[in-house]
Structure 1
Amino acid sequence: MYDVIIIGGGVNGCGVARDCALRGLKTLLIEKKDLSSGTTGASSGMIHGGLRYLLHDVKTTKTSSLDSGYIQKIAPFLLFRIPFLYLIHKKGFHVELLETFFEVYDRYASLKNSKKHTRLSQQEVFQLEPGLSSSIQGALTFDEWGIDPYRLCILNAKDAKARGADLLLHTEVTDILVEEKIVRGVEVQTSDGKRHHHLGKIILNLSGPWIPKLCKKVGVEVKLRPGKGIHLVFDRRISNVALATETIDKRSIFLLPYQNTSILGTTDDDFYGDPDCLDVTQDEVEYLLEAIERVFPSIRNERMIGTYAGIRPTLYEWGKTEDSLSREHKIFDHEGEGIKGFITMAGGKLASYRLMSEELTDLVCKKLGIKEKCTTHVRPLPGGEKTISHAEIIEMAKEGGISAYALSRIYYRHGLGLKTILEMMKENPLWKRVICASEPVLEAEIRYAISQEWAGSISDIGRRTRLGWGGCQGADCVWPAALILKDVLGKDPHFQMADFLQKRWKALAPFLQGESIAQEELKQRLLGGFFES
């Protein structure tokens, strides 16, 4: 019997699992795919206050900024600063109004350790970003924090596991067990088709876009207004700083340097389909390219390597545009509807996941009579117990006989966990081999992801290490990684490679043209025809 069973392995589910486990609750986390494979993984990868939310959702801006500060403290290795230019197309009084708007946003800068805005002349803007359109008259600066959302989920889940929580991945909840209007547990189906029952005192529905579907199983309703968002990914950092501008319908979008790539996003459209069947359309791609081309004319000459889409589980409101919907979260205790032991949390943002998790766990503890207080804002995530300087990383790389850059990337993803990976390479020197040169990813890190982080496929490894996500797009690294999976788990390498490449095709199809076609032809030739268009 579990104290709490959590359905959904996104950032909210992993955050709540960690908080519950830290407070001594017997916890089970269930995810039907892989951790962060839904809405969380499809985010923009920023822990930010949300400049645009100031217009209609000030509370979200404040809570997101506050939680950003906490996340920086518990996982300092996992965040990186992203300087932004908010581009000005024409001079006039509206610029003064814009600056007043940014002055309000400055009030939250100290919460998230950001720099206050500055106003730049046209000359200063072009010194920073020579590739901009000559129509740009100036800019206002601000900054946000980037984060790897996949790693954030993994680290929360690892800490939950270390504190006694159980995790079931690739396991779908097929039914909710209810007796006399009291939820007793869940029925699940594992990847091998077997069904099992797990009993729990409280069941938490944190399944994102799938929330309404699970609610129906117990006869309650939570209405969402799901919003689809897409991003385009380019093969390298194509701008010096992030650029914020507007689309044809005056929505805010951005082009930002993100790790070793660039990301252009995002859209926001009402979604009425199946969250399990998401496709990026050519219209969505063109919508974003058209907008950024207006300020960054060379964008169509850059090499696009992927697209991704996700569904925001936004709270339901009628009569508003998608952009003006609140990003606030809400907790639904269904005991008020006559169903005891079943709680749903919907809405919210990546940036405020920890605060949301704390609020929900407080409610769970109150119901169970647990008096332990939240400590997730002060307890470091795994790897964040101590920072390692760049000089120390260089010295450790020399001692280990590996590239300092490769080790710095391992440190970014794992923090102090890099010491375990270094020890693996010391015991097995052949594991220093570079498997994916684009990131880079070493063999030892792949083996660590398999043995310590539940990676069971090429896609799982990619979510944990970014293998195959850079310019190579898996051409050189998929087969060696598949052979490692065979060695450790006995997985069929041919199936693993074909599965990965078919998923990559889905991300490529909406924009494939020009040099991208040549890249895919090369990949098909190199990999012996496993990739089928």
Structure 2
Amino acid sequence: MIFDLLIVGGGINGCAIARDAAGRGLSVRLVEQQDLASGTSSASTKLIHGGLRYLELYEFRLVHEALAERELLLAAAPHIIWPLKFVLPHEKGLRPVWMLRLGLFLYDHLARRKRLEGSHMVSLKGNALGAPLRDSYNVGFTYADCWVEDSRLVVMNALDAKERGATISVGARLTQARRENGRWLATLEDGTQLEARALVNAAGPWVSQVIEDALHVPARKHVRLVKGSHLVTRKLYDGPHAYILQNPDGRIVFAIPYEQDFTLIGTTDVPYAGAPGAVGISDAETDYLLDSVNHFLRTPVTRDDIVWSYAGLRPLYDDGALNASVVTRDYAFDLDAPEGLAPALSIFGGKITTARRLAEHALDDLAPFLPPHGASWTAEGVFPGGEASFEEVVAKLESEKPFLGPALIHRLARAYGARAEKFLKQAHAIEDLGRAFGGGLTEAELGYLIENEWARKADDVLWRRSKLGLHMSAEEQQALAAHMGG
């Protein structure tokens, strides 16, 4: 079979392009060397946001596009994306009140806002929003953005692409690709050969490596790797709101409620000069994040409070900025399409928030090289599971499956939305769901993840399809790994 589009990389950009292209009627094959969202796309701060601080960098187009996408995504995936209130304490000596007011005014009005509340100035004294903060913080601001289950959003893009006809292959590493007879002839590590009319290099941190080692095409743009690390601690405060904390170095750090029992703290921006691959948080980054929150919180946070950490590499487009924290978060394309030869589109940068729009732009650029196909459609499309609201799914499960209990109903509704019915519909008691692995994970749910969501190993389930690794004991995790064979 000759595919219209071969996509290299199973992160948010690659899967968003696969979804859009398949929905337009194009034949699509996506290959991912490891697991879906196994790199950058599962190591984010888990936010769908415009990027308030990008206004200081005059990235108005990026902020406008991201704010507009925020509304679309909230409507399209209400199970894995939901509103989150942020509290911004005013730090004397840094950004003055007038600057914060102006920035938030722009944030409120750069794009049409229908579902999220606007910003407000608030007194933090005698207010639950100020309770965790030191007494020196009297005034702050509130505004709304959205939380996202990042790796699940990647999987939902891939699942939608598959259901529209795309072929998604994990554990499939591209080793070589060459142009032949007006097409790309690609070879995978296992020897499989694929033919495609166009190729998209959405390999994230590996984008330059794919250009140089596999495609052998000229590179006119370059990637700049920046490491971002996060801490997960015990729950540091009550309430569903998050904090955006200003640091003296001009950066900001978030403190966000996480997985019911924890707080997520991040992120860092550290230049990375090594080869792309797995990374971890450094002692210096840990100290930086702890110092940041301890500057604001009245109760000290120590290393003993840390329960987990994660880090990832952001493949930013290298715009020549000297400071890693001000490198653009916008995306850039490098289209190599010599006359008469099959095109290759390489993607640099991007954000989870703008992946849907990036996919539209990518297909616009590739349209002249592809067979006639449908128009853009994803602005109105709903992700698998988003056919009903989170509240509707919860109410339905409470009515029809009360034996699950409130905590499990909440988790399943958040993870799968209306798709939870796929593995719950035949169950009339908890025992009908098969073996219990811990943390509420049952054999029925695990089977669904393996059959429908490309889960192959325990880590795929524990840290990407879910965050059950935070809720299961070491023994339970080991038992799951033994059951899955890795």
Q: Check whether TM > 0.5.
A: yes
SS of 1:127's equivalent in the other structure is coil
Question: Which residue identity lines up with residue 395 of structure 1 in the other structure?
Answer: S
Aligned-pair CA distance for 1:239: 4.7
Q: Do structure 1's residue 232 and structure 2's residue 231 form an aligned pair?
A: yes
**What is the CA–CA distance in structure 2 between the aligned matches of 1:94 and 1:137, rounded to whole Å?**
14
Residue 461 of structure 1 corresponds to which residue in structure 2?
Answer: 461
Q: Which amino acid aligns with 1:335?
A: A
CA distance in 2, matches of 1:233, 1:183: 47
2:79 maps to 77
Q: Residues of 1 paired with 2:365 and 2:165: CA distance?
A: 20
Between the aligned partners of 1:425 and 1:177, the Cα distance in structure 2 is 51
CA distance in structure 2 between the aligned counterparts of 1:98 and 1:6, rounded to whole angstroms: 41
For the 8 Å contact 2:179–2:342, the answer to whether it is kept is: no
Match of 1:172 in 2: 173
CA contact (8 A) 2:321 2:327 kept: no
Per-residue CA deviation, residues 199-241 of structure 1 (Å, 9 max, x unaligned), is 1110100001111111113231131222111111124464522
- Matching of residue 87 in structure 1 with residue 89 in structure 2: yes
Distance change in 2, residues 1:482/1:93 (3 Å): closer
Aligned counterpart, 2:193: 197
Change (3 A) 1:237 1:200: farther
Q: Give the corresponding residue for 1:523.
A: none
**1:322 Cα deviation after fit:** 1.8
Which amino acid letter does the alignment assign opposite residue 196 of structure 2?
A: G
Q: Which residue of 2 aligns with 1:208?
A: 204
| Alignment partners' CA distance in 2, 1:200 and 1:177 | 11
Which residue of structure 2 lines up, in the alignment, with residue 6 of structure 1? 7
2:377 corresponds to which residue? 375
Instruction: Output one character per residue of 1:94-150: Cα deviation in whole Å (capped at 9) or x when no partner.
Output: 2123212211111146437321111112315x4324221122121111111001011
Opposite residue 32 of structure 1, the aligned amino acid is: Q
What percent of counterpart residues are identical?
A: 26
Mapped partners of 2:38, 2:412: distance in 1: 21
In structure 2, what is the Cα distance between the partners aligned to 1:61 and 1:41? 22
Measure how far apart 1:418 and its partner are: 1.0
User: Separation in 2 of the partners of 1:46 and 1:446?
Assistant: 26
CA distance in 1, matches of 2:94, 2:173: 56
Instruction: Give the 3 Å change call, closer, same or farther, for CA 93–162 of structure 1 in structure 2.
Output: closer
- What secondary structure does 1:171 align onto? coil
Aligned to 2:161: 160
- Seen in structure 2, the aligned counterparts of structure 1 residues 424 and 41 have a Cα distance that, compared at 3 Å, is farther
Counterpart selection for 2:401 from 374, 384, 397? 397
Tell me whether 427-436 or 269-278 shows the greater mean CA deviation.
427-436
Counterpart for residue 450 of structure 1 = 450
Does 2:484 match 1:477? no
Query: For residues 106 and 69 of structure 1, do their structure 2 counterparts lie closer, same or farther at Cα, with a shift above 3 Å needed?
Result: same
Of structures 1 and 2, the one scoring higher in RCO (CA 8 A, sep 6+) is: 2
Conserved? CA contact 2:393–2:413, under 8 Å: no
Secondary structure class of the residue paired with 1:33: coil
User: Is the aligned partner of 1:99 residue 2:101?
Assistant: yes
Q: Distance in 1 between matches of 2:474 and 2:308?
A: 14
**Measured at CA, do residues 237 and 465 of structure 1 come closer, stay the same or move farther in structure 2, by a change above 3 Å?**
farther
Shift in CA distance, 316/75, structure 1 to aligned 2, threshold 3 Å = same
- Tell me by how many angstroms 1:30 deviates: 0.3
Alpha-carbon spacing, 1:160–1:64, altered in 2? closer, same or farther (3 Å): same
Q: Is the 8 A contact 2:335 2:345 kept in 1?
A: yes
* Runs (5+) with no aligned partner, structure 1: 486-490, 497-533
Q: CA separation of 1:93/1:353 partners in 2, compared to 1, >3 Å: closer, same or farther?
A: closer
Residues of 1 paired with 2:5 and 2:347: CA distance? 14
2: distance between equivalents of 1:218 and 1:33?
22
Residue type at the aligned position of 2:78: P
The equivalences for 1:124-523 within 5 A come to: 124=126, 126-179=127-180, 184-189=184-189, 194-216=190-212, 217-221=215-219, 222-236=221-235, 238-240=237-239, 241-260=241-260, 261-301=262-302, 303-335=305-337, 340-387=342-389, 388-398=392-402, 401-426=403-428, 429-431=431-433, 434-437=436-439, 440-466=440-466, 468-472=468-472, 474-482=473-481, 484-485=483-484, 491=485, 496=486
Partner-residue secondary structure (3-state), 1:274: coil
* Range 128-137 or range 109-118, more displaced: 109-118
Is the deviation greater in 61-70 or in 316-325?
Answer: 316-325
Contact 2:52 2:103 (8 Å CA) reproduced: no
Report the Cα distance in structure 2 between the residues aligned to 1:112 and 1:179, rounded to whole angstroms: 50
Q: For 2:125, give the aligned amino acid.
A: Q
Q: What is the match of residue 52 of structure 1?
A: 53
Normalized per residue, the structure richer in helix is 1
The 2-side partners of 1:465 and 1:219 are apart by 35
Shift of 1:171: 1.2
Cα shift at 1:317: 1.8
Amino acid of the structure 2 residue aligned with 1:458? A
Q: Match of 1:420, SS?
A: helix
Deviations 1:139-182 (A, max 9, x none): 111111001011111111111111111111011111112348x5
3-state SS in 2 of match to 1:469: helix
Of 233-242 and 280-289, the range deviating more from structure 2:
233-242
* 1:526 corresponds to: none
Q: Which amino acid aligns with 2:359?
A: S
Tell me, yes or no, if the aligned pair for 2:4 and 2:371 is still in contact at 8 Å: no
Residues 315 and 482 of structure 1: is their aligned pair in 2 closer, same or farther, counting only changes over 3 Å? closer
CA 1:421/1:275 → structure 2, altered by over 3 Å: closer, same or farther?
Answer: same
Mapped partners of 1:298, 1:110: distance in 2: 39
CA distance in 2, matches of 1:50, 1:276: 26
Aligned length: 476
What TM-score comes out, normalization by structure 1 length? 0.84
> In 2, Cα distance between the equivalents of 1:93 and 1:31?
43
TM-score, normalised with respect to structure 2: 0.92
CA-based RMSD? 2.3
8 A Cα contact 2:47 2:146, kept in partner = yes
How far the C-alpha of 1:4 sits from its partner, in A, is 0.5
Q: Distance in 1 between matches of 2:430 and 2:245?
A: 49
Contiguous gaps of at least 5 residues in structure 2: none
| Counterparts of 1:239 and 1:366, CA distance in 2 | 54
Say which is worse superposed, 428-437 or 10-19, in terms of deviation.
428-437
Deviation at 1:468, TM superposition (A): 3.7
